[in-house]
Chains A and B, each alone.
Chain A
Amino acid sequence: MAYGISAKNDSGEVIIDSAFEHYHFAGKAGLFSTTRVPALSGGTDTQHSPSSPTGLNGSQVNGHIFKYSLVARANSNSPAPMCFIKPSSTGSSAPYAAIVLVERYGVNWHIWILQTYGYTAPQVYCFLPLKEMTASAAASSDVYGLKTYNSAGDVTFNSSIRPLKVIGGGTATSPSLAHTGTSSGYSVNLSVNVSPLNFSTGVSGTAVSDMMYYCPSISHSCQEHQANSSGDGFQAQGSNSFFYSWGRGDLWWCFYRGAFRLSSSSNLQSSYVTYASGHVWKAVENTSGILVALAAAILAFATFGATLPFFAIAIGSTALTSAFTNTGVASGYYYPYKNDSRNNSNNPFMISKASYYD
């Protein structure tokens, strides 16, 4: 190179390059909102309900969404912040948490973390290139250390702004499905029950309570359960008496996002947190015969393509919009596919220490 500085490790590999805009500590993101996706429920007819409960199982709870803001100097070409989660607790009973959304909001960044319902919000330590930070975040009164510039005159490395320092890492995957086993009839609980996967952090000699991880959620999964029932009867009303048949179809579903926890200093666990869930049904009654009625009821759920229009009928666009009012979450059915997952492989993660930046 014609000018600048290049620092190498014992293997001769470049670790500081003045031409490269290194990430530095930009501050902790501020929590400004806590919300959840509302449970969705609706049907075309309440008649012929089974005696057993048909709603959402009480233990099937959507996770908390914590919304954070990072003050920055972002524009449309800015690289995204790298945000490490410092969990509120660790161990085999700790909640799972992961970043499910990073988006630019004016010159700032918004970060959403999905976490198992019922736990304290984690802390979020954020890193950016120096020129993406606010002037105050990128300033230091410390006149010692090393500061490098690129050819444009931008500061690319500044030891006094606490460069990102990683102490471990590895490659995680997510379970292929969030829920295993089958539900029977109308007793439905699609809560996450899959065994977590374990991955070595490569960290030793550091307290797990001081550790934080960068492992954005890219995996998601969607599962459903269907139940069908039918019957017939006789309606006595004099000369207008008639036989009738009825059919009913129910569908429950959950949409999950991949999430993680530190079970120990040496182990990261991967599982899912329920992001959205719901239940819809359709009941049909006619005098044409029981098979016709049942077929009409379950046709709405027979295929993935048929289900989506039925959601709109069962829940209704007005009710859907109303359910999401004041939640701060985009309305939707959260049913992008069924009984499958996406992006569940090859999810590398990095580990750092919060005490470096406190």
Chain B
Amino acid sequence: MAYGLVINNASGNAMYSSQDSTWTLLAYYTTAANTNATYTGVPIMSSRLVTRQMLNQVTGDDEAYAHSYSLSGSTLTTTAPSSTDTVQTFFAVWGK
């Protein structure tokens, strides 16, 4: 490869190669329940995905919304759909 990095262990096996990872974790954030938050400085790649995970909530007798989000440039904006029933949400931004 022209660019990148391959890291071997003592046995000569590649432990990391910049070529064989299709999606790279770029950033991660946690937004508190029932709040909105904006995060800046998110690295930019040509393709990005944002995974979401609800925290501390198994969903019982409330509506349990996960935060919605928008990713534009280096800014991730996370929004609580409900001011009372939105759960704490963990965001991970991936790029390739």
Which residues of chain A have a CB within 8 Å of any CB of chain B?
7-17, 20, 22-23, 79-80, 82, 99-104, 112, 142-146, 159-160, 162-171, 202, 214-218, 220, 255, 257, 275, 329-330, 332-337, 342-343, 347-350
Contact = CB atoms under 8 A, between A and B. Distances in A.
Given A145-B9, A169-B22, 12 more contacts: A7-B5, A7-B18, A13-B43, A16-B5, A80-B30, A159-B7, A159-B16, A216-B53, A275-B59, A336-B63, A343-B64, A348-B49
A72 to B, nearest CB: 14
A143 B8 CA distance: 11
B68 to A, nearest CB: 8
Interface residues of B, number: 48
* Among B15, B28, B90, residue most surrounded by chain A Cβ atoms (within 10 Å): B15
Given A15-B18, A169-B22, A336-B59, A7 B49 contact: no
Q: Which 7 A-B pairs have the closest CB atoms?
A: A332-B60, A216-B53, A159-B7, A348-B49, A166-B23, A159-B15, A80-B90
A214 B51 contact: yes
Contacts of B92: 82
A100 B64 CA distance: 12
Interface of B: 1-5, 7-10, 15-16, 18-25, 27-28, 30, 43-46, 49-66, 90, 92, 94-95
A162 B3 CA distance: 21
Contact of B55 (A7, A102, A166, A337): A102
A336 to B, nearest CB: 5
A343 B66 contact: yes
Contacts of B8: 144-145
Contact of A350 (B23, B30, B59, B60): B23
